[in-house]
Structure 1
Amino acid sequence: MYHHGWSDHLRGVNVKSLTPDGSDVTIIYDGLLSKSGASQVYLHSGFGNPMQWKIVEDYRMQRTPEGWKKTLNMEDGHLTFCFHDSAGNWDNNNGNNWTYKLV
Protein backbone atom coordinates (compact mmCIF):
# COMPACT_ATOMS: atom_id res chain seq x y z
CA MET A 1 0.00 0.00 0.00
CA TYR A 2 1.22 3.49 -0.86
CA HIS A 3 1.61 5.81 2.16
CA HIS A 4 2.24 9.47 1.60
CA GLY A 5 0.35 12.24 3.27
CA TRP A 6 0.27 14.81 5.98
CA SER A 7 -0.31 14.94 9.75
CA ASP A 8 -1.27 17.43 12.43
CA HIS A 9 -0.30 15.23 15.37
CA LEU A 10 -1.08 17.95 17.92
CA ARG A 11 -4.74 18.01 16.89
CA GLY A 12 -5.09 14.34 15.96
CA VAL A 13 -5.52 14.69 12.19
CA ASN A 14 -3.79 12.46 9.66
CA VAL A 15 -4.24 12.30 5.87
CA LYS A 16 -2.81 9.26 4.10
CA SER A 17 -2.55 9.06 0.33
CA LEU A 18 -3.47 5.57 -0.83
CA THR A 19 -2.30 5.89 -4.43
CA PRO A 20 0.89 7.25 -6.03
CA ASP A 21 -1.06 10.04 -7.78
CA GLY A 22 -2.85 10.96 -4.54
CA SER A 23 -6.32 10.50 -6.01
CA ASP A 24 -7.53 8.48 -3.01
CA VAL A 25 -6.89 9.59 0.57
CA THR A 26 -7.88 8.34 4.00
CA ILE A 27 -8.50 10.92 6.69
CA ILE A 28 -8.01 9.71 10.26
CA TYR A 29 -9.27 11.81 13.15
CA ASP A 30 -8.44 11.24 16.82
CA GLY A 31 -8.83 14.81 18.00
CA LEU A 32 -10.93 16.81 20.43
CA LEU A 33 -14.34 15.31 19.56
CA SER A 34 -12.98 11.78 19.71
CA LYS A 35 -11.31 12.41 23.04
CA SER A 36 -14.52 13.99 24.38
CA GLY A 37 -16.42 10.73 23.83
CA ALA A 38 -18.35 11.49 20.63
CA SER A 39 -20.56 8.57 19.66
CA GLN A 40 -20.29 9.50 15.96
CA VAL A 41 -17.96 11.83 14.07
CA TYR A 42 -18.56 13.31 10.62
CA LEU A 43 -16.06 14.69 8.13
CA HIS A 44 -17.27 18.01 6.69
CA SER A 45 -15.30 18.66 3.52
CA GLY A 46 -15.13 20.54 0.26
CA PHE A 47 -12.80 20.93 -2.69
CA GLY A 48 -11.13 23.87 -4.40
CA ASN A 49 -10.39 27.30 -2.95
CA PRO A 50 -10.47 27.09 0.88
CA MET A 51 -12.50 30.34 0.95
CA GLN A 52 -15.12 29.04 -1.52
CA TRP A 53 -15.60 25.32 -0.99
CA LYS A 54 -17.15 23.29 -3.82
CA ILE A 55 -18.76 19.86 -3.62
CA VAL A 56 -19.36 20.31 0.12
CA GLU A 57 -20.40 17.09 1.86
CA ASP A 58 -20.74 15.57 5.32
CA TYR A 59 -19.43 12.01 5.54
CA ARG A 60 -20.09 9.61 8.38
CA MET A 61 -16.73 8.36 9.64
CA GLN A 62 -16.01 4.83 10.82
CA ARG A 63 -14.60 4.23 14.30
CA THR A 64 -11.33 2.26 14.16
CA PRO A 65 -8.51 1.57 16.64
CA GLU A 66 -6.56 4.43 14.98
CA GLY A 67 -9.45 6.88 15.34
CA TRP A 68 -12.35 7.93 13.13
CA LYS A 69 -11.64 7.16 9.48
CA LYS A 70 -13.02 8.06 6.03
CA THR A 71 -11.60 7.43 2.55
CA LEU A 72 -12.29 9.94 -0.22
CA ASN A 73 -11.49 10.42 -3.87
CA MET A 74 -9.69 13.73 -4.41
CA GLU A 75 -12.12 15.28 -6.88
CA ASP A 76 -9.92 18.36 -6.94
CA GLY A 77 -6.30 18.89 -5.95
CA HIS A 78 -7.23 20.92 -2.87
CA LEU A 79 -9.30 19.49 0.02
CA THR A 80 -10.51 21.63 2.94
CA PHE A 81 -12.14 19.92 5.91
CA CYS A 82 -13.17 19.91 9.56
CA PHE A 83 -15.17 17.60 11.82
CA HIS A 84 -18.40 17.57 13.82
CA ASP A 85 -20.17 15.09 16.04
CA SER A 86 -23.81 14.01 16.24
CA ALA A 87 -24.45 16.51 19.07
CA GLY A 88 -23.50 19.50 16.88
CA ASN A 89 -20.03 20.11 18.34
CA TRP A 90 -17.37 21.13 15.83
CA ASP A 91 -13.59 20.80 15.61
CA ASN A 92 -12.50 23.23 12.91
CA ASN A 93 -8.89 23.89 13.92
CA ASN A 94 -9.81 27.08 15.80
CA GLY A 95 -11.72 28.42 12.78
CA ASN A 96 -8.92 27.69 10.31
CA ASN A 97 -10.12 24.25 9.14
CA TRP A 98 -7.53 21.87 7.71
CA THR A 99 -6.35 21.75 4.12
CA TYR A 100 -4.63 19.07 2.11
CA LYS A 101 -3.22 19.89 -1.30
CA LEU A 102 -1.87 17.52 -3.90
CA VAL A 103 1.61 18.58 -4.92
Structure 2
Amino acid sequence: MSNLKYSNFEEDNRIEAMANHTYPGGVRVDPMPITAGQDVTILYSGLLANSGADQVFLHLGYGDSDKWEDTQELRMEKLGWGWAKVISADDWGRTMNLCFRDSASNWDNNSGHNWSFQIHNG
Protein backbone atom coordinates (compact mmCIF):
# COMPACT_ATOMS: atom_id res chain seq x y z
CA MET A 1 0.00 0.00 0.00
CA SER A 2 2.92 2.38 -0.23
CA ASN A 3 2.02 3.50 -3.77
CA LEU A 4 -0.42 6.27 -2.91
CA LYS A 5 -2.10 8.08 -5.76
CA TYR A 6 -3.17 11.70 -5.70
CA SER A 7 -5.97 13.20 -7.73
CA ASN A 8 -7.39 16.61 -8.52
CA PHE A 9 -10.55 15.82 -6.56
CA GLU A 10 -12.34 19.07 -7.39
CA GLU A 11 -12.38 18.11 -11.09
CA ASP A 12 -13.38 14.50 -10.46
CA ASN A 13 -17.10 14.11 -11.23
CA ARG A 14 -17.03 10.67 -9.59
CA ILE A 15 -16.33 12.29 -6.22
CA GLU A 16 -19.34 14.57 -6.61
CA ALA A 17 -21.50 11.58 -7.53
CA MET A 18 -20.22 9.73 -4.45
CA ALA A 19 -21.09 12.73 -2.28
CA ASN A 20 -24.66 12.76 -3.57
CA HIS A 21 -25.40 9.35 -2.04
CA THR A 22 -26.09 8.89 1.65
CA TYR A 23 -24.25 6.07 3.42
CA PRO A 24 -24.24 5.09 7.09
CA GLY A 25 -21.59 6.96 9.04
CA GLY A 26 -20.66 9.18 6.11
CA VAL A 27 -18.16 6.76 4.53
CA ARG A 28 -18.21 6.12 0.79
CA VAL A 29 -15.83 3.82 -1.07
CA ASP A 30 -15.54 3.65 -4.85
CA PRO A 31 -15.39 1.38 -6.72
CA MET A 32 -17.40 -1.30 -4.99
CA PRO A 33 -16.70 -4.13 -4.87
CA ILE A 34 -13.00 -3.43 -4.43
CA THR A 35 -10.76 -5.38 -6.81
CA ALA A 36 -7.05 -5.88 -6.17
CA GLY A 37 -4.88 -3.56 -8.21
CA GLN A 38 -7.46 -0.77 -8.40
CA ASP A 39 -7.18 2.71 -7.04
CA VAL A 40 -9.88 3.15 -4.42
CA THR A 41 -11.35 6.51 -3.44
CA ILE A 42 -12.48 6.94 0.15
CA LEU A 43 -14.78 9.88 0.86
CA TYR A 44 -15.54 10.71 4.49
CA SER A 45 -18.27 13.11 5.62
CA GLY A 46 -19.01 11.60 9.00
CA LEU A 47 -18.94 12.77 12.61
CA LEU A 48 -15.52 14.44 12.55
CA ALA A 49 -16.19 16.26 9.28
CA ASN A 50 -19.53 17.48 10.63
CA SER A 51 -17.88 18.65 13.86
CA GLY A 52 -15.58 21.07 12.04
CA ALA A 53 -12.33 19.09 12.04
CA ASP A 54 -9.47 21.12 10.56
CA GLN A 55 -7.75 17.91 9.38
CA VAL A 56 -8.90 14.30 9.08
CA PHE A 57 -6.63 11.27 8.86
CA LEU A 58 -7.59 7.90 7.43
CA HIS A 59 -6.48 5.07 9.72
CA LEU A 60 -6.17 2.00 7.50
CA GLY A 61 -5.25 -1.63 8.15
CA TYR A 62 -5.80 -5.14 6.83
CA GLY A 63 -6.92 -8.46 8.27
CA ASP A 64 -9.43 -9.40 10.93
CA SER A 65 -11.46 -6.52 12.30
CA ASP A 66 -10.06 -7.16 15.79
CA LYS A 67 -6.41 -7.61 14.70
CA TRP A 68 -5.30 -5.10 12.09
CA GLU A 69 -2.00 -5.55 10.24
CA ASP A 70 0.02 -3.21 8.01
CA THR A 71 -1.64 -0.16 9.53
CA GLN A 72 -1.16 3.28 8.07
CA GLU A 73 -2.36 6.74 8.95
CA LEU A 74 -2.90 8.92 5.90
CA ARG A 75 -3.72 12.62 5.66
CA MET A 76 -6.96 13.21 3.76
CA GLU A 77 -7.76 16.14 1.46
CA LYS A 78 -10.57 18.57 2.36
CA LEU A 79 -13.26 18.97 -0.30
CA GLY A 80 -16.63 20.65 -0.46
CA TRP A 81 -18.21 17.23 0.14
CA GLY A 82 -16.01 16.05 3.02
CA TRP A 83 -12.52 14.53 3.14
CA ALA A 84 -11.03 12.26 0.47
CA LYS A 85 -8.09 9.94 -0.09
CA VAL A 86 -7.13 7.66 -2.98
CA ILE A 87 -5.30 4.46 -2.08
CA SER A 88 -4.16 1.43 -4.04
CA ALA A 89 -5.90 -1.85 -3.14
CA ASP A 90 -3.15 -4.40 -3.66
CA ASP A 91 -3.91 -7.09 -1.08
CA TRP A 92 -6.58 -9.32 -2.62
CA GLY A 93 -8.34 -11.76 -0.37
CA ARG A 94 -7.80 -9.55 2.66
CA THR A 95 -10.19 -7.29 4.48
CA MET A 96 -9.47 -3.56 4.42
CA ASN A 97 -10.44 -1.85 7.69
CA LEU A 98 -10.96 1.90 8.09
CA CYS A 99 -11.56 4.45 10.79
CA PHE A 100 -10.80 8.16 11.07
CA ARG A 101 -9.30 10.68 13.48
CA ASP A 102 -8.91 14.43 13.51
CA SER A 103 -5.93 16.59 14.50
CA ALA A 104 -7.24 16.79 18.09
CA SER A 105 -7.14 12.94 18.33
CA ASN A 106 -10.92 12.55 18.28
CA TRP A 107 -11.83 9.26 16.60
CA ASP A 108 -14.72 8.07 14.47
CA ASN A 109 -14.62 4.28 14.48
CA ASN A 110 -18.27 3.61 13.65
CA SER A 111 -19.18 3.09 17.32
CA GLY A 112 -16.36 0.56 17.72
CA HIS A 113 -17.20 -1.41 14.58
CA ASN A 114 -14.93 0.45 12.12
CA TRP A 115 -15.65 0.07 8.39
CA SER A 116 -14.51 -3.13 6.67
CA PHE A 117 -14.36 -4.03 2.97
CA GLN A 118 -13.24 -7.24 1.28
CA ILE A 119 -10.66 -6.91 -1.51
CA HIS A 120 -11.46 -9.26 -4.39
CA ASN A 121 -9.19 -10.77 -7.03
CA GLY A 122 -10.47 -9.56 -10.41
TM-score by length of 1: 0.83
Q: Which amino acid in the other structure matches residue 30 of structure 2?
A: K
Corresponding position of 1:81: 98
Counterpart contact for 1:25–1:73, Cα < 8 Å: yes
1:34 Cα offset (Å): 0.3
Higher relative contact order by CA 8 Å / sep ≥ 6: 1 or 2? Answer: 2
Corresponding position of 1:65: 80
Counterpart contact for 1:46–1:53, Cα < 8 Å: yes
Is the counterpart of residue 98 in structure 1 residue 120 in structure 2?
no
Q: Percent identity?
A: 41
Counterpart contact for 2:60–2:97, Cα < 8 Å: yes
Q: Which has the higher helix share?
A: 2
Max Rg structure: 2
Change (3 A) 1:75 1:49: farther
Q: Helix, strand or coil: the match of 1:102?
A: strand
Change (3 A) 1:75 1:8: farther
Q: Mind listing any 5+ residue stretches in structure 1 that lack a counterpart?
A: none
1:5-44 mapped onto 2 (5 Å cutoff): 9-17=23-31, 21-22=35-36, 23-44=38-59
Query: Which segment drifts farther, 42-51 or 28-37?
Result: 42-51
Q: Which of structure 1's runs of 4+ aligned residues deviate more than 3 A?
A: none
Q: Which amino acid in the other structure matches residue 56 of structure 2?
A: V
Q: Which has the higher strand share?
A: 1
Query: Which segment drifts farther, 66-75 or 92-101?
Result: 66-75
Deviations 1:59-85 (A, max 9, x none): 000001221000111132320010000
1:102 Cα offset (Å): 2.6
What is the count of residue pairs matched by the alignment? 99
Aligned counterpart in structure 1 of residue 69 of structure 2, from 30, 54, 65? 54
